[in-house]
Amino acid sequence: MDITIREAQQQVDEWIRTVGVRYFGELTNLGILMEEVGELSRIMVRTYGEQSFKPGDNGKEMADEMADVLWVLMCLANQTGVDLTDALAKNMEKKTMRDATRHQDNEKLR
């Protein structure tokens, strides 16, 4: 399923309004976002870091945890009137202008 970020935001909004009844409050969703980032972090640390998986970690998938993070971020964007498509475009422009040669000139990256 190929969809744009804007379409995904709209789909999340439609789901919340029909299946989910209503959005949780913004601060609740911020807390949920932090929880989801923590779950993603746990998998990343155990997959790429030095920690080993615990028995309770079985069945957790990195892609699913990333999707959970994206879902809640889209909820927060919808609640606060942020169009993530526009925000990402502006952010890319900012980074491109600010960091035009910064990383190329960084000896640590060579």
pLDDT by residue (tens digit) across 42-55? 999 999 999 988 88
Instruction: Detail the DSSP E strand segments found in 5-109.
Output: none
Q: What is the pTM of this model?
A: 0.88
Least trusted range by pLDDT, from 33-47, 75-89, 90-104? 90-104
Instruction: Give the mean pLDDT of the chain.
Output: 94
Average pLDDT on 91-104 reads 90
Find all residues with CB under 8 Å of 69, minimum gap 6, and list them.
Answer: 33, 36, 37, 40
Provide the pLDDT for residue 35: 98
Least trusted range by pLDDT, from 13-22, 73-82, 98-107? 98-107
* DSSP code of residue 50: S
- All structural domains of the chain, each given as residue ranges with its CATH number in brackets, are 5-83 (1.10.287.1080)
Average pLDDT on 26-42 reads 97
- Name which residue leads in pLDDT, 1 or 76: 76
Provide the pLDDT for residue 55: 83
